[in-house]
């Protein structure tokens, strides 16, 4: 694993020490002697992680962290504060400023490297999602972590073997989250897989159960793979923390639990979960927009072009019949010219709705362009396809279209052309050409009719 890490400290010896440790792990290291230089570096170059001292001249680490998190271009960069301050209030202040962790000098090498690698993995995932969302131009990811939080309470699953500690944790998180408590780790695994939790807190206080097994299982299940996990461990149990971070645990906390630190760490994880969920949703919506016609909600020509060959090849390989129908709204230009494009769009939407009701579940309905629609019917003979098309034609003709803004319902009809696979030498282009020719014949011979291509 490689990444670019920025070390920020006004004491050269501290910088050299951290730089040597990171270079030994093959990280790319940048350095800054003060907060202003650190902010400038982050503005002009890509940084994957920041190790930030707190006590510095000019602006301290807390202010640097706040500025980074307020800047849309740098809000997603993980920040680890490395300092001699060791009071709980200092840790909480750092976490509230947006830091992902707060390590006290002298830093344990093993714990530092495990934390760095864990946060770099998280940054890589977030960068991938941000890149996909930005490439699709679906949302403005510049809103950052805070804007993605929302006002509603988080949904947290607490897995804790002791009722007394459950009560304390629930009380601490009450301002920000609704907490579901469970004492059975295996039951908790199923609960996490079946419900939309935003954070799982695993308290390592079980007498006859290894809590890391639950963490590993949560990471192995597809439905919980990206669910943040906060581990609560005994003080100085570095081995468990290092193993937990290697397994993919997102954050950790040592007992005795400081309520404000628990609240701050949980809030950070919930925010990050919502931010990444928002990015994933953006990518999914972008993919859908690429293959869905925005006006009618049917699949578009791009989707048809990419899937028709697949469906034809599948039918050929299985020796099954397949038919397509191209339908065109009769005299649609007259509707647009008479009533305007808004009415024309309303007619297209209603036509698409009737197309949906007329087709079967296995059929593929697409808007081909303008007022033309294509219906792909796998496992369908020419005779059956003609019957389906006739039913659709009657559905269009027999009930006039009620359109907002037009006093009287509009009488709409459609012409339809049918074609079926002929032989192993047939393909999507030939199929479409024959269906289009049949459609032309339907229009030439009077419209409002179904014509099947000759076998």
By annotation, the residues acting in catalysis are 371
Give the separation between CA 289 and CA 371, rounded to whole angstroms. Answer: 20
Q: Is the peptide bond before 106 cis (omega within 30 degrees of 0)?
A: yes
**Orientation angle between helical segments 238-247 and 109-136, nearest 10 degrees:** 20
Provide the token pair at 394.
Answer: 């009657």
Tokens 């020796």 belong to which residue? 319
What is the distance, to the nearest Å, from the Cα of residue 337 to the centroid of all Cα atoms in its chain? 42
Contact 301, 392 (CB under 8 A): no
Closest listed residue to residue 405, CA positions, set 353, 341, 351: 341
Residue-by-residue DSSP string for 407-424: SSPBP--EEEEEEE--ST
Distances (CA, A) of 399 to 354, 375, 411, 454: 10, 21, 8, 31
Give the separation between CA 275 and CA 69, rounded to whole angstroms. Answer: 13
Element (H, E) at 229: strand 229-233
Provide the token pair at 240.
Answer: 């468990």
Could you tell me the maximum CA-CA distance found in the chain, to the nearest angstrom?
90
Task: Mention every residue, 6+ apart, whose C-beta is less than 8 A from residue 168.
Answer: 257, 259
Give the separation between CA 200 and CA 451, rounded to whole angstroms. Answer: 61
| Partner residues linked to 4 by β-bridges | 28
What is the distance, to the nearest Å, from the Cα of residue 196 to the centroid of all Cα atoms in its chain? 14
Number of H helices, E strands in the chain: 16, 15
Contact 359, 387 (CB under 8 A): no
């Amino acid at each position: 694993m490689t990444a670019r890490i920025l070390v920020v400290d006004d004491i050269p010896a501290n910088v050299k020490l951290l730089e040597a440790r990171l270079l030994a792990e093959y990280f790319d290291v940048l350095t800054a002697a003060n907060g202003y230089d650190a902010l400038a570096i982050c503005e002009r170059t890509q940084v994957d992680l920041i190790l930030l001292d707190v006590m510095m001249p000019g602006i301290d680490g807390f202010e640097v962290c706040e500025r980074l998190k307020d800047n849309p271009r740098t809000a997603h960069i993980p920040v680890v504060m490395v300092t001699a301050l060791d009071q709980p209030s200092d840790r909480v202040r750092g976490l509230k400023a947006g830091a992902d962790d707060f390590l006290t000098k002298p830093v344990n090498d093993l714990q530092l490297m495990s934390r760095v690698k864990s946060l770099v993995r998280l940054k890589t995932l977030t960068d991938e999602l941000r890149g996909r969302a930005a490439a699709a131009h679906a949302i403005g990811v510049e809103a950052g972590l805070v804007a993605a939080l929302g006002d509603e309470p988080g949904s947290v699953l607490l897995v804790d073997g002791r009722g007394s500690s459950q009560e304390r944790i629930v009380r601490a998180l009450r301002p920000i989250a609704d907490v579901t408590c469970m004492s059975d780790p295996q039951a908790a695994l199923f609960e996490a897989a079946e419900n939309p939790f935003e954070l799982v807190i695993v308290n390592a206080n079980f007498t006859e159960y290894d809590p890391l097994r639950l963490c590993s299982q949560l990471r192995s299940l597809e439905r919980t793979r990206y669910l943040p996990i906060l581990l609560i461990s005994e003080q100085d149990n570095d081995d468990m923390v290092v193993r937990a971070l290697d397994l993919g645990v997102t954050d950790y906390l040592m007992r005795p639990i400081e309520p404000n630190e628990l609240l701050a760490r949980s809030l950070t994880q919930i925010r990050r979960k919502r931010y990444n969920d928002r990015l994933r949703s953006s990518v999914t919506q972008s993919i859908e927009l690429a293959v869905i016609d925005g006006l009618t909600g049917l699949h578009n020509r791009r989707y048809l072009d990419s899937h028709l060959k697949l469906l034809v090849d599948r039918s050929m390989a299985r020796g099954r019949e397949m038919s397509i129908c191209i339908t065109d709204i009769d005299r649609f230009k007259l509707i647009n010219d008479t009533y305007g494009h808004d009415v024309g769009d309303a007619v297209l939407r209603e036509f698409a709705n009737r197309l949906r009701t007329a087709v079967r579940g296995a059929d593929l309905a697409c808007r081909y362009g303008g007022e033309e629609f294509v219906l792909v019917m796998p496992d369908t003979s020419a005779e059956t396809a003609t019957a389906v098309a006739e039913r659709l034609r009657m559905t269009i003709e027999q009930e006039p279209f009620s359109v907002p803004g037009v006093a009287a319902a509009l009488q709409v009809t459609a012409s339809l052309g049918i074609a079926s696979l002929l032989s192993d030498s047939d393909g999507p282009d030939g199929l479409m050409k024959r269906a289009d020719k049949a459609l032309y014949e339907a229009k030439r011979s009077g419209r409002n009719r179904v014509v099947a291509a000759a076998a």
